[in-house]
Every structure is written in C-alpha cells, then in structure tokens.
C-alpha cells in the first residue's frame, strides 16, 4: 500500500460547527455564547454513542484557542487549530474516564489546573465517559468545578448522565445530543461518497443509515464496511447481504399476499424465504416499515414515499389494503417481533405472525343478529351469497329493516363513513334509491363526502348505482350502533347479576359486610 488508509469516520469528522450534521440546538447555543463572549467554564454533553459529543467538544476547544479568535468560526490554519485537529495540542487534555477511575489519577490530572496554558488561550480538559469516575474522583473534580481558574474550561461527555452526582450536574451547562435522523445520515453519507468518487445506490445508503440507529459514526463505519464488502461500491444488494436483510421485493410480496388474503400462498412464500437464511426479526421490521408508509399514504394523499419504495407501489398497496387492516398488520408485526424469541424457532414464529395477520381482522359493525366480518382470505368476497341474485336481476330488492346490520357488516367501508352508516336505520328502498333515517344525535356525521362513500360502498355491494335518501321516520328505528350499545349494556347487566349470585361474593358480604361497586363490574371478553 502506498499510503495508510484513514477510516471514513475519522477522515470526515467535522472540524467546524458548519460541518456538523444535526444537533442544531447545541450548535446554536454554543455559537451564540462564543459570539457574545459568555462562555461558561463547564459543559456537559450527553447522548448515545456516535452522535457528536467529543466532536463538538473538540470544535469548541478549537474555537476557544484559535489564534484569530476566540471565534465561532475557527480559521483551521493557525498552529493551534492544526494541532487540535491532529490531536497534539498541549493545552487540550483529553481524559478517558473509563480507564482512569482512581482518585489518584484524577488528582494527577487536576494538579496542573492552576498553571497557565502553555500555548493556547485556555487550558481545556475534555473528560470522556465522565460517569465512570469513582466517588472520590468526583469529589476531587467538584472542588475544581466550584472555583475554576479563569484560564480553564471543562468539557465533559457521557452516555449515562444519571450516574453523575447532582453536585457536578448543577455546575455544568448540560446539552443533550439527539439521535440523528436516518434521512440526515443518508444525506451525509451520499455527500461523502460523492466526494470520495465511489459508486453507490440510494437504496443501499438508506439501509446503512437505518442500521446506524441514529449514530453518524456507526453510519460511516458501516459505510466503510459496505465499500469493502462490495468491492469498491455501495449497492443495495451488497448492503442487504452485509446487513442480513431480505430483498426489498420479498417484503413487498408479503404485503401483496396480505392484500390478496390468500393464506396458503402467503405461507408458501414465507417458507421460500428459508433459502436466504433471513433474520426474521428484521423481516418483520421491514414489513412494519412498509406498512407505516402505506398508512401514511392512506391519510396523506400527496405522500410520495421515499427511495426504498416507489410512490406507485405505496399508492397501489394503500388502495388494496384497508386502513384498519394496515393498523392490525402493523400491530401484529410489532407484537410478533417481540415474541419471536419465545417461538420454537424463528421461522415458526415468523409464519405464525403472518397467520395471525390473515386470520384476524378488525371486527366490522355488528347487526342485530350479531353477524360480523370474517377473516380476509377465509371469506373476503365482495358480498354475501344472498347478494348475488340481486346483482343478477339488475335491481335492488327492498330489504327488511332488520337486515341493515347484516348489510353493513358486508360493506367495504372504513372510518367515519362506517360510523355514519352505523348510526342510520334502513327504512326501505325504491329501485336504486335506499332510504335511511339517522339518529338525531348523530346528524353531524352527515357530510356530502361521507354520504358519497356510503353510496359507493352500497353500489359496489349491490352491483349497480345506488342513491341515498335520508328521511324522517314516524317511529324511531333502532340503528346498528344502538343495537350494539343495548347488547353491551345487557352483557354488563348479566355480568353484574352473575357476580352478585356468586357464592364467594355472598360469603364475603355475610362474613365481612362487604359491598360491591356496580360500576367496576365488567363482562370478561
């Protein structure tokens, strides 16, 4: 090798505040302090690994000791700036508290605090992982923090601020550094690759940024690893192979089979993933991530997705999967991932998660007879068998008023439009006109948009264009919502009667004079 290779995390470490990615709240406070000359004597930077704690501390040390400063924009050219960048500035004393926890080590470091700086304007003590110091070491540090010489600045960094004594915390300005968003990490990584002249694929960089988990340093280290793994390029296939994630198309195919409701095909495809030896927890993570994008598209019509999934794909899946199903699939994926370690083996656990998704769906509005929607893929047809003859005849047979709950259970209707329908009662029909009466307390649900959705759902159910007509009934009819409320009240009342009749409860009353609180008794579901 002609020259020593420098890791990307070191080569592209920010040297000024303008180069810093993220942490704008910290940068703004420090820049303002430097520009106004109100620089505190002790700073504490907290946050998880790789978010910029020691980087910001070194930039601050450079700002304080730049020969053309102090300034929020150090020149980077003077001897002090160059020596700080090279890590050999004599007045920047960096201490790794994890390896120097004894009180004697701390005293040895602090003995020279009283002496003036050798080269710079300030003597700066940068103590990393400061929470690792012993109690005696903290006491020694505290004495200096209480009455520091004017030429000394303390920059403390830690991933665990809870372990610091409150006496130390109270004498420092504390800055909590946040995890860096994956989008910002990806953007920075792309900029680094462009400057390095390395070929890359945007989707591959997005995967690396996501795997970095908020740490820019981890992102750059993973990028280094990906370039080596990919033989000098950073592609999506190489990133997935390195990170152990399945191909994006596999996750899309799972979502498409969920939309189709075909349990047999879904499990067959899930079993075919075995040849890739996937991390099934990551597969569920990616599926949940895709479902999140679908859910956003369903409520934000102009959402265009991102580099991982094309806008047309997200739009197609958002149309194919009901909004309530998306929420259920997402929750099932999260719970299944948590319970994956409890399964006989990861593959079995993964397949069972998919079966749960396909076997259960949100309960549709129940009619007076208690009918409910079945699982998608078991009986997710467009309508009940009784609806087929009505379609064939080309008209709407006038249904009896008691059938409205059953019809509603079969409609492909979600959200507020279903709420409108459930608070209505069917009073009759006249050809293609369906007449409904609405619960007077729910008249606010009547909007043209919701009425249109209800009419479209009925048109799809009966196979012809349906118009709605809202009428005022002479005698108030019971709506599905009222039927559910009455059934719920009857269940509660039955549970209370059963509780009161329980021999054990009666025994408590007789022996101890116990009383029951009816409002707290609920039926067991």
| Residue 220 pLDDT | 92
Flag the least confident range among 37-51, 215-229, 327-341, 441-455.
Answer: 441-455
Mean pLDDT of the chain: 81
Q: What values do phi and psi take at 158, rounded to 5? A: -160, 150
Query: Each residue of 20-64: pLDDT tens digit?
Result: 888 889 999 999 999 898 899 999 999 888 888 999 999 999 999
Query: Each residue of 499-516: pLDDT tens digit?
Result: 777 777 777 777 777 777
Under the banding of pLDDT at 50, 70 and 90, the label for residue 520 is confident
- Residue of 433, 492, 489 lying closest to 465 (CA atoms): 433
Task: Give the Cα separation of 202 and 233 in Å (integer).
Answer: 12
Task: Give the Cα separation of 382 and 301 in Å (integer).
Answer: 25
Residue 207 has pLDDT above 90, yes or no: no
Q: What is the mean pLDDT of residues 392-421?
A: 69
Q: What is the mean pLDDT of residues 297-323?
A: 83
Residue 281, both tokens? 């927890």
Contact (Cβ atoms closer than 8 angstroms) between residue 336 and residue 356: yes
Task: Give the Cα separation of 423 and 481 in Å (integer).
Answer: 6
| Residue 63 pLDDT | 93
Residue 480 has pLDDT above 90, yes or no: no
Query: Each residue of 121-170: pLDDT tens digit?
Result: 999 999 888 888 888 888 888 888 888 888 999 999 998 888 888 888 88
Under the banding of pLDDT at 50, 70 and 90, the label for residue 330 is very high
pTM score:
0.56
Task: Give the Cα separation of 218 and 185 in Å (integer).
Answer: 10
| Residue 450 pLDDT | 84
Contact (Cβ atoms closer than 8 angstroms) between residue 465 and residue 459: yes
Q: What is the mean pLDDT of residues 487-510?
A: 77
Q: What distances in angstroms separate CA 174 from CA 132, 139, 166, 273, 459, one per listed residue?
A: 17, 19, 12, 48, 62
């Amino acid at each position: 090798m002609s020259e020593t290779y420098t890791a990307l995390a070191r080569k592209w470490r920010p040297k000024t505040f303008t180069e810093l990615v993220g942490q704008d709240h910290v940068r703004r406070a420090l820049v303002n302090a430097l520009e106004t000359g109100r620089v505190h004597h002790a700073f504490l930077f907290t946050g998880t690994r790789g978010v910029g704690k020691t980087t910001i501390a070194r930039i601050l040390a450079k700002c304080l000791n730049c020969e053309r400063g102090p300034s929020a924009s150090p020149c980077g050219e003077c001897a002090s700036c160059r020596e700080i960048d090279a890590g050999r500035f004599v007045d920047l004393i960096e201490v790794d508290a994890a390896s120097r926890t004894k009180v004697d080590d701390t005293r040895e470091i602090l003995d020279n605090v009283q002496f003036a700086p050798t080269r710079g304007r300030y003597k700066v003590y940068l103590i990393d992982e400061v929470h690792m110091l012993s109690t005696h070491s903290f006491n020694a540090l505290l004495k200096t923090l209480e009455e520091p010489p004017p030429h000394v600045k303390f920059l403390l960094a830690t991933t665990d601020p809870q372990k610091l004594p409150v006496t130390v915390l109270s004498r420092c300005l504390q800055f909590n550094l946040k995890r860096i968003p994956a989008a910002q990490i990806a953007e920075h990584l792309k900029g680094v690759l462009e400057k390095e002249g390395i070929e890359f694929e945007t989707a591959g960089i997005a995967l690396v940024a996501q795997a970095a988990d908020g740490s820019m340093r981890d992102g750059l280290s993973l990028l280094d690893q990906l370039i080596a793994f990919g033989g000098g390029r950073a592609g999506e296939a190489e990133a997935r192979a390195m990170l152990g994630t399945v191909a994006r198309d596999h996750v899309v195919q799972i979502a498409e089979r969920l939309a189709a409701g075909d349990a047999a095909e879904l499990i067959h495809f899930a079993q075919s993933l075995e040849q890739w030896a996937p991390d099934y927890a990551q597969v569920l993570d990616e599926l949940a991530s895709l479902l999140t994008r679908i859910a956003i598209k369903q409520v934000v019509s102009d959402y265009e997705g991102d580099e991982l999934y094309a806008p047309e794909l997200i739009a197609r899946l958002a149309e194919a999967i009901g909004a309530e199903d998306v929420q259920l699939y997402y929750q099932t994926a999260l719970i299944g991932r948590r319970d994956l370690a409890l399964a006989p083996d990861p593959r079995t656990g993964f397949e069972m998660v998919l079966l749960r998704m396909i076997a259960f769906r949100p309960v549709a509005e129940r009619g007076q007879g208690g009918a409910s929607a079945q699982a998608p893929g078991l009986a997710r047809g467009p309508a009940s068998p009784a609806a087929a003859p009505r379609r064939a005849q080309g008209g709407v047979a006038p249904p009896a008023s008691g059938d409205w709950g059953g019809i509603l259970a079969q409609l492909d209707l979600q959200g507020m439009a279903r709420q409108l329908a459930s608070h209505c009662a069917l009073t009759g029909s006249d050809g293609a006109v369906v007449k409904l009466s609405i619960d007077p307390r729910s008249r606010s649900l009547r909007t043209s948009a919701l009425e249109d959705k209800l009419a479209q759902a009925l048109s799809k159910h009966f196979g012809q264009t349906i118009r709605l007509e809202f009428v005022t009934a002479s005698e108030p009819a019971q709506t599905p919502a009222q039927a559910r409320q009455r059934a719920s009240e009857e269940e509660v009342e039955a549970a209370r009667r059963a509780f009161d009749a329980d021999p054990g409860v009666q025994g408590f009353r007789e022996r101890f004079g116990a009383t029951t609180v009816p409002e707290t008794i609920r039926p067991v579901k």
